[in-house]
A = this chain, B = another copy of it.
């Protein structure tokens, strides 16, 4: 992790509760980073359900392919999750596939479980082979470190999966009417774009949820969280969200879409995933502003999402925000380039609460000093009403600064 913590970081890492049926371990293997943990293991109780979402990249990493393969075999239960940071094991050919298999097999053997129940994720440099000798030596030691999922263990786990992140990311929620919880950790700060990001998130609950229901809940939450954030419009080879339900706290399984507990679970899951997604944006490489872009009045929700994304991903908008410059013409430009139905003369634009433009021109009461005042804050809201329908969407992003260039022209990610 970087020395200097993002100014947009939360004040502290949350106090994450233990999740029954989950044990955690970290280990400093020295794959790339020196003297910090770079391996993370979660051991999961028998019968744990799993749900997943992966990168849309056509050149996915070996761990993504491994997870897809074991899921495609119809396997919907998990016994372990292994993640390394520092090397993405992406574009590493047959050697990469072998390293992924080796990792799953060594951990499976040490835990006495089936290798096809071991899920994998890797993040870091693309194109360099994973050092198999280091893995072979380190993985048994990692397994030896397994212990209770204490608050300290969550902190260490969240740190072990980081790369260019400037702070560790965690979130938790209680499922109110039960004794069960949801806990999650994530990493990511660049190569972040909708349809996932160089972004890993691992989420655990001790509620029992049938795999198909769990997958449906995860897909719903991801659509409104990780798929609504963007830092630089780049999409990683390695993006992975995994959700595990151990059922060790509440083993009366939710197996019907009409189960009355489902709304509460979905709500808690949504809050954890959105919190983690926002933390990823808050750690956007070089970010100095956390930006919420809301589009209403579009032809459809999808159209609203595309317009919001066009604004959020525009380098010209992002650089203006970095400069606290109320250059709303660039927002018009970004609406125009989205390719979605829009009518210049029906468009309204707000910066914070300040109505900037309406009816195809600058609003007569617009005050640039008031708009600039809003832009001086760390948290910025941009709003566009397209004025032609009822479609709405919100996307979160950060500004584009010298810091982004500094990090990415230097670090080899």
Interface residues of A (CB under 8 A from B): 55-60, 88, 90-96, 125-129, 190-191, 193, 232-237, 313-316, 319-320, 322-323, 325, 327-330, 332-342, 344-345, 347, 357, 359-362, 400-402, 404-406, 408-410, 412-413
Contact = CB atoms under 8 A, between A and B. Distances in A.
A313 B56 CA distance: 18
Given A316-B232, A361-B95, A60 B409 contact: no
Given A58-B341, A96-B360, A237-B333, 14 more contacts: A57-B336, A58-B339, A96-B361, A127-B361, A128-B362, A232-B316, A233-B233, A234-B314, A234-B315, A235-B337, A237-B332, A315-B315, A327-B413, A402-B402
Nearest to A408: B319
A323 B409 CA distance: 5
A236 B340 CA distance: 15
A334 B91 contact: no
A235 B94 contact: no
Contacts of A233: 233, 313-315
Chain copies in the assembly? 2
Contacts of A408: 315-316, 319-320, 323
Nearest to A286: B405
B360 A93 contact: yes
A55 B335 CA distance: 13
Nearest to A314: B234
A347 B126 CA distance: 15
Nearest to A362: B127
Contacts of A88: 329
A336 B234 contact: no
8 contacts: A55-B336, A91-B361, A95-B361, A126-B333, A232-B316, A323-B410, A402-B406, A404-B405
A127 B409 contact: no
A128 B402 CA distance: 28
A315 B404 CA distance: 9
Closest 4 CB pairs of A and B: A126-B329, A93-B361, A57-B336, A59-B336
Contacts of A320: 408-409
Contacts of A190: 316
